[in-house]
Structure 1
Amino acid sequence: MVVVFYFAAFFVATEFALVQTRKSALESALEAGKGNRRKLQTALKMVQNLNEYLSTTQVGVTLAGIILGWIGEGTIEILIVDALRIAPISETGLHAIGAILGVMLLTYLEVVLTEIVPKNLSIDMPMKMMMLVVTPLHYFHILFYPFVWLLNVSAAAIIHLFGLRPASESNDVLTQAEILRLSRNAVTGGMLDKNDLLYMQRAFDFNDKIAKDIMVDRTSLEVVDITDSVKTVINYYLRQGFSRFPVVANNDKDKILGYVYIYDLIRQAQVDDRILVSKLLRTIITVPEVTPIQGLLQQMIQKQTPIVVVLDEYGGTSGIVTDKDIYEELFGVVKDEIDNVSSEYILKNADGSYKISGKTTLYDFERFFRTKNKNFDESESVTIAGYLLENYKVKRDDVITIGQFDLKVVDLNHNYIDWLEVRRHAASPDEQNAPQDKPAEINGQK
């Protein structure tokens, strides 16, 4: 009977190992050269023909169950009856009690030893169990093949009577939602990095978006006119910060003729900055609003252009898309030199004040608040904390006024200012007339 228990447990473990072992895991192990190559190839064949080999395990489980029920109940009943003969119970009563207890005990042993334990082992370590059972299963499959073939043909015929098609391993294809759900489980289980999941989600979203979804709208579009000189556009660049500008005719955004690149303008300015930008015009391509991002990126690579014009259904300019807009769909916001200071250093509070790190450079402070302070230029300090410590004797909760700004020391650690609270008050007439450095807002037109 012990042997029958073993075979029943073996077939249950094999069944769950087949179901739990992923085809991709076996293929990865083969490519990496890990484990016994012959066993891995046999296991891969079994997983690829899952229905056939599951039928073999089901035949084994059924046969083991029948044999256990045939010899197990009687054997356990005899043992129980012999143990209870010391009790003053009639022979009929002993056999009745023995039969009931025999069924209960056999059921318990069968469920625990041949179902739950092997099932849990196969679920916890499917690859290891698969490597243990693959060779015996191969020979059992050969032994049971005629019976397995008969069962599969009979089952397929019955399924056809219901107007259905038998399940096929080739139909086991996951949807995007299922892939993401499995990936989230892998992140929870520590088998996948959460950033990998994030990029996977963005990649799926990337394929579903069109040019209109990521473009810079025409209302936010900064352009220059075809009659502008190189000097004029360079001055505009210094105010706005964009390295590329669409060039239009008659200041009409529906008449985009091309674009100019700041490098070309600066190089030309070394020779003659009075020349018109029409002499430095680069070709720009146009695409409809409904162009998929994937196709848009391929066109930009093929045409070697970092900027395209998006046209609406009437042929007018709807907006522009740059290579940066596309990259940000996959990698998130990518800040560069023209963008505002990172929120890691400057945070806006609900009451309108700002929490600023002492590590913020003086230049970034001026750039963020669009101000200019002559004292900053004369200081040898680089950061706002260094400037305050250089010029003031500060302690926690001190408020220092610099121009339009009240700077409160909120976090002083080992004589270093970690964080400040900054409030801006109304500017004096002198401050209002002072020159301002205006940094560029983010609009993807780098």
Structure 2
Amino acid sequence: MDDPDSFQFILSFLIQAHDATLLDGSLDTVDLVLQFFFIVVGLIFSALFSGSEVAFFSLSNQQDVLTEGGISGSADELILKMLERPRRLLATILIGNTFANIITSVLAAVATGNIVAYFGFSEIFVYTLEVLVLTFMILILSEITPKIIAINDPLKSARKISRFIYGLYIILLPLSKLIANSTISLEERLPKPDSKMTSEDIMTMAEVSEMEGSIKSDEREIIENVIEFGTTSVREIMTSRVNVVAVSTENSLNEVLALIREKGLSRMPLYENDLDNILGIIYSKDVLPYINSDIERTTINWRTIARKALFIPATKKLDDLLRDFQQEKTHIAIVVDEYGGTEGLITLDDILEEIVGDISDEYGENEEQLYTQFKNGVYVFDAKIDLDDMEEILEIELTADDDDFETLGGLVYHLTERIPNVGERVYYKGLELTIHSVQNNRVRKLRVKLNEDDAKQQKSPVKDKE
């Protein structure tokens, strides 16, 4: 064997024998049939393992279904026994599935090689076709289809395959136990992923669910409102001081009853001299006993029937305020500024509307319309309209997170830095805002025109006077 000529002779002989085998015109039909038979068997076993994975682990959180009314049979006992060690069960199923897929792939490669040698086809073409066909068959027949069948009735599927899987569960115990323990050891050494779901993730899921039809648009809005609930401050939704309806200590019974009938309010602050001196809260139901008395002559000391008022800062968050309402067993709070003056008030209805949207009561038909739209595209807005509502009406973006104003009137004051005059125009983000009316140093209404051509040019507010 040390002779180089002898080594070359042997090597040449082996090459010639290999070429002769490839060029041999005969094809062993029996071997080819057996190869295709075992390919089909491999696909069947792969499908069984794929379906069993979905079936068993769909029941992992529903084990009470198997135990309700007692165990129905030995199959259920086997399922429960294997689910007690889910890692080992998963390792057993994956070992079987991987083995079935490998056997199928190897036999398919051998069969393809025989076909190439016999018919003389292009190797690249045939092997590419084999990979595509085998991939398609494994995905459709051995992965997707059995998993769909199993997920439709996981309990029935798990019972049918339980004995077969349990047999492998026992046979492959050493290997599956080793794999399961290895995964545990690996997980302990790997850094823990930050799997916390953020509020943005939940809002994105809600939007996707709405697009897919899983939830309705109003349900999506409620989810978003609940997420933003904890970050919303009282100042953003309170009734401002100028719109507060209150009872003075000097009001007569007749005046208070007229106020209750006109406004339809069940709770009103009681003040002395001005709104900065709030004494308590007057409940309409506490005034009812005096209705049958001589209203013109009856004099009531409102302090005696007023209830304790809850005072809160304007920066308080709504979730904290809701807990305060629960603890104090009240539905109304007075909002005060940093100097102790009254800035506004907020009720439980305001908080609920922030979650579920506007709630109309029996007095809703008398609610003031905050805007009017004309055919020429011009709007007339009340200055107290919330900018978020205005954004939805005009379908444009007007606010930013760091803005110190919430209403259209606040925006105008921010832009002009003074009390504007009637007819004065202010341009802001493609909007032409014209002061429509001013009363008692307060902007009441504005004429709004959306000018899309100027939207890009008005990068900073520009003011002029008519």
| TM-score interval for Structure 1 and Structure 2 normalised by the shorter chain | 0.5 to 0.7
Relative distance call for 1:339 and 1:14 in structure 2 (3 A) is: same
Equivalent residue number for residue 121 of structure 1: 145
- Give the whole-Å Cα distance in 2 for the aligned partners of 1:4 and 1:194: 48
Asked if 1 retains the 8 angstrom alpha-carbon contact of 2:54 and 2:154, the reply is: no
Relative distance call for 1:72 and 1:117 in structure 2 (3 A) is: closer
Unmatched 5+ stretches in structure 1: 85-93, 354-446
Relative distance call for 1:322 and 1:41 in structure 2 (3 A) is: farther
Query: Are positions 1:147 and 2:175 aligned together?
Result: yes
Asked if 1 retains the 8 angstrom alpha-carbon contact of 2:46 and 2:142, the reply is: no
Equivalent residue number for residue 360 of structure 2: 335
- Give the whole-Å Cα distance in 1 for the aligned partners of 2:78 and 2:272: 70
- Give the whole-Å Cα distance in 2 for the aligned partners of 1:298 and 1:37: 51
Deviation at 1:7, TM superposition (A): 1.9
CA RMSD of aligned residues (A): 4.5
The one-character-per-residue Cα deviations of 1:334-389 (angstroms, maximum 9, x if unpaired) are: 1123334589x999431599xxxxxxxxxxxxxxxxxxxxxxxxxxxxxxxxxxxx
Equivalent residue number for residue 301 of structure 1: 326
Relative distance call for 1:342 and 1:314 in structure 2 (3 A) is: closer
- Give the whole-Å Cα distance in 2 for the aligned partners of 1:39 and 1:211: 59
Equivalent residue number for residue 245 of structure 2: 222
Deviation at 1:79, TM superposition (A): 4.9
Greater RCO (CA < 8 Å, at least 6 residues apart): 1
Relative distance call for 1:157 and 1:255 in structure 2 (3 A) is: same
1:14-413 to structure 2, matched below 5 A, reads 14=52, 26=62, 53-79=89-115, 81-82=117-118, 84=119, 94=120, 97=121, 103-121=127-145, 127-128=151-152, 130-131=154-155, 132=157, 135=162, 136-137=164-165, 139-154=167-182, 164-165=191-192, 174-251=197-274, 253-272=275-294, 273-341=298-366, 348-351=372-375
Query: Are positions 1:8 and 2:46 aligned together?
Result: yes
- Secondary structure (helix, strand or coil) at the match of 1:326 reads helix
Asked if 2 retains the 8 angstrom alpha-carbon contact of 1:227 and 1:278, the reply is: no
Deviation at 1:292, TM superposition (A): 3.6
Asked if 2 retains the 8 angstrom alpha-carbon contact of 1:12 and 1:115, the reply is: no
Equivalent residue number for residue 413 of structure 2: none
- Give the whole-Å Cα distance in 2 for the aligned partners of 1:339 and 1:142: 71
The one-character-per-residue Cα deviations of 1:241-281 (angstroms, maximum 9, x if unpaired) are: 43321011222x22211111223324314224322322321
Relative distance call for 1:307 and 1:198 in structure 2 (3 A) is: same
Q: Which amino acid aligns with 1:67?
A: I
Asked if 2 retains the 8 angstrom alpha-carbon contact of 1:260 and 1:280, the reply is: yes
- Give the whole-Å Cα distance in 1 for the aligned partners of 2:313 and 2:201: 32
Q: What is the TM-score normalised by the length of structure 2?
A: 0.57
Deviation at 1:160, TM superposition (A): 6.4
Unmatched 5+ stretches in structure 2: 1-37, 378-466
Task: Report % sequence identity.
Answer: 22
Q: Which amino acid aligns with 1:213?
A: E
Asked if 1 retains the 8 angstrom alpha-carbon contact of 2:248 and 2:273, the reply is: yes
Q: Which amino acid aligns with 1:77?
A: G
- Give the whole-Å Cα distance in 1 for the aligned partners of 2:231 and 2:80: 34
- Secondary structure (helix, strand or coil) at the match of 1:336 reads coil
Asked if 2 retains the 8 angstrom alpha-carbon contact of 1:14 and 1:129, the reply is: no
Asked if 2 retains the 8 angstrom alpha-carbon contact of 1:228 and 1:276, the reply is: no
Q: What is the TM-score normalised by the length of structure 1?
A: 0.59
Asked if 2 retains the 8 angstrom alpha-carbon contact of 1:260 and 1:282, the reply is: yes
Asked if 1 retains the 8 angstrom alpha-carbon contact of 2:44 and 2:142, the reply is: no
- Secondary structure (helix, strand or coil) at the match of 2:282 reads strand
Asked if 2 retains the 8 angstrom alpha-carbon contact of 1:73 and 1:99, the reply is: no
Name whichever of 223-232 and 5-14 sits farther off.
5-14
Aligned length: 332
- Give the whole-Å Cα distance in 2 for the aligned partners of 1:29 and 1:192: 28
Q: Which amino acid aligns with 1:225?
A: S
Q: Which amino acid aligns with 1:9?
A: A
Deviation at 1:152, TM superposition (A): 4.5
- Give the whole-Å Cα distance in 1 for the aligned partners of 2:270 and 2:238: 17
The one-character-per-residue Cα deviations of 1:33-75 (angstroms, maximum 9, x if unpaired) are: 9x98998998899899776555444323332233224333223
Deviation at 1:10, TM superposition (A): 3.3
Deviation at 1:129, TM superposition (A): 6.5
Asked if 2 retains the 8 angstrom alpha-carbon contact of 1:229 and 1:277, the reply is: no
Relative distance call for 1:27 and 1:63 in structure 2 (3 A) is: closer
- Secondary structure (helix, strand or coil) at the match of 2:133 reads helix
The one-character-per-residue Cα deviations of 1:77-134 (angstroms, maximum 9, x if unpaired) are: 335655x3xxxxxxxxx4xx48656634542332112124444336756622744257
Relative distance call for 1:342 and 1:275 in structure 2 (3 A) is: closer
Relative distance call for 1:317 and 1:341 in structure 2 (3 A) is: closer
Deviation at 1:285, TM superposition (A): 1.8
- Secondary structure (helix, strand or coil) at the match of 1:233 reads helix
Q: Which amino acid aligns with 1:204?
A: I
